[in-house]
A and B are shown apart, each in its own frame.
Chain A
Amino acid sequence: MLSALTSMSQEIREIKPASRAVLAAVLIPTIAALNYVGGVIVEALKAPIWGDTWATMLGTLIAGFWVGAAGGFLYNIIMALTVWGLPQWVWGFANVAIALITWIMMKMRWTDLRKPITWVMALILLGIIYPLFTTIISIAVFGGGPLWKPIPAAVYAAVLNSTGNFFLANYVQSLVTEIPDKLISFAISVIIASRVPRRFVLVKV
């Protein structure tokens, strides 16, 4: 009787409501939608960030690189096909880069916000190296140029005027927006990931 109960409880524990592949298939559009709604909430609360990449980081932290990257890429594809204009789909690769950096940070265990190393590496990887990637895309695909937000556009004009260096103007403009946005987004995604129930965490660190 006892052995029957034990085997039954094992059987119950092993039953999963849905396979990992199906959970991942549902998580990907959820991440894309959370990225979108994150941007909307930023507008509503006037938060000082873009707020549309933290879900990519969260997806990577709870479900692995491919789910995070696919969710982030999908978000960019949907925005490119609707609100931003088709050529903006290339920013999907920026979301893949963010998923990759988050995955590296997770594997290296740089996700404890109380440790200075986490902030230093986040600043280096997300704040300094990642904007290099976005600057190259911005110049190669879109010809560079100022953003349509006043502060980055003013920084762009000031750097271009004082140095005459087109690449530097684009890079510094990118730094101004990316350093606060990506550091805050990373912190948000780590805080949320730590509160997500275990049953949703598909990734093994």
Chain B
Amino acid sequence: MANGILVVILPSRGTLSPASYELLGAGKVLAAALKQPLVAAVLGGSSSTLAADVSTRGADKVLVVEHQSLTNFTEEAYAKAAAVAAEKAGASRVILPSTIAGRAVAARLAVLLKGGLATDVAEILPDGKIRRGYYGGNLIAEMELKTPIAVLTIAPMTFPRAEPSGAAAPIEAVSFEPGASKTEFVSFKGEESREIDLGAAEKVVAGGAGLGSAEGFKPVFELAHALGAAVGASRRAVDSGWIPYRHQVGLTGRTVRPKLYIAVGISGQIQHLAGMSTSGTIVAINSDKDCPLMQLASIAVQGEYSEILPLITAEIKNRKGHAVAA
């Protein structure tokens, strides 16, 4: 009988993302619900040092699966490594992030373990059932995992980040032999600009058709920089070529759940709402007070973005300046 909740930590280019701590937060909730121990596994090319950090954040044990084949992310090797960790932990549930890598590992792992899979989990219920959005966030599915072992990916920004507690859990190395791989990792080219990634951002400033041009994104970026926010966009802005696709929020782009989402010149078509409607505080800035996003918003500001955005940015900079002076 499987007995354990396994959180699988996937370092990105050798470092831990804050979202890793959210997985441990979700793991704690599930471990408490199912009354099972919490085990974390850190996978990677050299993951021992990262395991020390993970060990102080609430897991009962930390497994390290370290192998040269895990230096760069490929679906087959990582899924096999996760399966080895799941077996070692005797896991009944395996938790992964809802990133591109996490989703792919979860998908392959579910087949390797012959287990059910639920992605983008936003809520864990006391009986172990989960809730996730579907139909573009228009509906919430309550789901039951029927198999003895099941795999979950956790929606970003939904569970509290596990803090270091002081006491360190024991760390155990797990031997792993990946065997031959059908996938060769050739190279990685990083984004040139060091923009904040949308999926993990606590704040997002997004622009839409109302900006009218690529030039219109300038005050959006300026406000985002002042706030330390990521920049998002509606499909119409992306399709118009004003900003690259990686910024797109919505049904055909990314799903985000920041604490603060500021939508500038976005009318709020259902496809866009699908990607952001579970955000904490939604601010809409639009000249049309009747558009769907102005109706949905926690705070609606009617006005011309070109006039009002620079004023908001200046006001924030001004107050931050005062705060430093004080």
Q: Are both chains from one complex? A: no
Q: A-side interface residues toward B, CB under 8 Å? A: none
Q: B-side interface residues toward A, CB under 8 Å? A: none
